[in-house]
Amino acid sequence: MTLKISISGVRGTVPDSLTPEVCLDFAKAFGTYLVESPKYKVLNASPTIVIGTDPRATSEFIKGIVLSGILSTGCRIIDIGICPTPTVGIMVRHLKADGGIIITASHNPLPYNGLKFVREDGIFLNEKQALKLIDIYSSKKFFKGALGKLTSNTTAIDFHIKQILNIFKPSNARRKKTKVVIDAVNGAGSEAAVRLLEKYGCNIVAVNCDLSQPFPHPPEPIPENLTQLCQIVKEEKSDVGFAFDADADRLAIVSEKGEPIGEELTLALCTKYILDKYHTLSPKKKIVITNLSTTKAIDDIVRSQQGTVIRTKIGEVHVAEELLKMHGLIGGEGNGGVIFPQIGFNRDSLIGVAIILQLMKSSGKKISELAGEVPGYVMVKSKFDCPSQDETELFLERIKEKFKRKDLILTDGVKVMLPEGWVHVRASNTEPVIRVIAEAKTQAGARGLISQVLEPAG
């Protein structure tokens, strides 16, 4: 894979495209970006940066390089070690730091790794900010200051969990313990998930929760990667199964039947619970933010509570910024990413776990029953390689022309709204591919929509 530099950060294979030189220069660039911000030009002081990683073997190697680059710009560093990506965002705000870097390639398998950049409010850099960072990286004009200071903080995961428990309190009532199987893919959520579930008094079966081991299967929590989890949920007669990606910002759920319910339903179920929990709010405060590619079931759920759905471009930062701006109640993305502003402004699998457990306990229903109550749609996702920007733009123009008489949303790529459903075509932020996502009432209907897009114009 060639190096992918985008609004979602930097991602590539180690050491082929994500080289030591790239990591060093991006670290220097981020330090320079903060030092040269208007705030620090006035203060003439040193910014503070929080650093966290996922447990890939290359993450520690890259961290050493990143630390060197940041320290050379005079910035202070607080190293919080291996932790979920959302923990970094939470700690940036808690420690009143000026930014953060997460060393992770998220759901991508080995040998991928990457860098994600966080600003002082715990939200990822937006497009304008990311472009400024990339300009500094490309120019190689890095600030050179007195050597910065490195400290560590070992309380990050505990603080993250405490914040969740303050809002979603464990019940003291004597009830049958919820039996939970978790597959953390030996990723950053391995220890955090177990510790959170212990606080809820769950009977835990931990699978692939060893930080010292490599990923046992591809880390994206999609159905084809959850066969082991599904089998163990059935064997253990568990109430629910939870699957995480490598940096624990995405959550997938397996029902007590040992069946994946689909990542799209993670946000849908969490939204349902939060709207019920805050049902006394006025309709104008029941604002839910999600992106253009998330299931229409969200609209149906929110409409039933007289709330409002606002849809953004793809990219976590767009959802987070809109949540901040509109004082949204909950938001996220259909890839299993739940954002709950009272805790933080990043997709957070731990929040998702807490909300699902609360939903199961408050309703007294099985997770399969709760999933069955969500308005039924079928989503089909496809992608194909398109490494050239020119080819991508040409393909999107062809789609616009082909469907020019239909209802089009052009906020991000091309989303075609049709009576039988919708289909969204856009360039990926993280891979050199074009993504095609369709949703309809049936599998055949969704596949038909994708075929309409991919078949040559005639």
Number of compact structural domains in the chain: 4
- Selected catalytic residue, list 8, 106, 190, 293: 106
* Domain end (from 97, 125, 156): 156
Asked whether 416 and 405 are in contact (CB, 8 A), the reply is: no
Per-residue pLDDT of the chain (458 residues; tens, 9 = 90+): 578 888 789 999 999 999 999 999 999 999 999 999 888 776 667 999 999 999 999 999 999 999 999 999 999 999 999 999 999 999 999 999 999 999 999 999 999 999 999 999 999 999 999 999 999 999 999 999 889 999 999 999 999 999 999 999 997 655 789 999 999 999 999 999 999 999 999 999 999 999 999 999 999 999 999 999 999 999 999 999 999 999 999 999 999 999 999 999 999 999 999 999 999 999 999 999 999 999 999 999 999 999 999 999 999 999 999 999 999 999 999 999 999 999 999 999 999 999 999 999 999 999 999 999 999 999 999 998 887 888 888 999 999 999 999 999 999 999 999 999 999 999 887 778 899 999 999 999 999 999 988 886 54
- The two structure tokens encoding residue 35: 């030092």
Q: Are residues 399 and 350 in the same domain?
A: no
Q: Are residues 15 and 133 in the same domain?
A: yes
Residue 169 lies in a domain: no
Active site residue 255: no
Those residues with Cβ within 8 angstroms of residue 118's Cβ, 6 or more apart along the chain or in another chain? 50, 88, 89, 92, 99, 100, 101, 102, 124, 125
Q: Are residues 121 and 9 in the same domain?
A: yes
Q: Are residues 287 and 250 in the same domain?
A: no
pLDDT the model gives residue 174: 57
Q: Are residues 15 and 60 in the same domain?
A: yes
Q: Are residues 351 and 414 in the same domain?
A: no
Residue 133 lies in a domain: yes
Residue 173 lies in a domain: no
| CATH assignment at residue 62 | 3.40.120.10
- The two structure tokens encoding residue 201: 């008094």
* Domain ranges, residue 226: 179-254
pLDDT the model gives residue 7: 79
3-state DSSP assignment of residue 415: strand
Place of tokens 């062809």: 398
pLDDT the model gives residue 176: 82
Torsion of CA 389, 317, 431, 446, to 10 degrees: -90
**Within a 10 A sphere around the Cβ of 195, how many other Cβ atoms?**
15
Asked whether 113 and 103 are in contact (CB, 8 A), the reply is: yes
Asked whether 310 and 330 are in contact (CB, 8 A), the reply is: no
**For residue 73, which amino acid is it?**
T
> How many angstroms separate the CA atoms of 347 and 362, rounded?
24
* Domain end (from 343, 373, 403): 373
pLDDT the model gives residue 458: 42
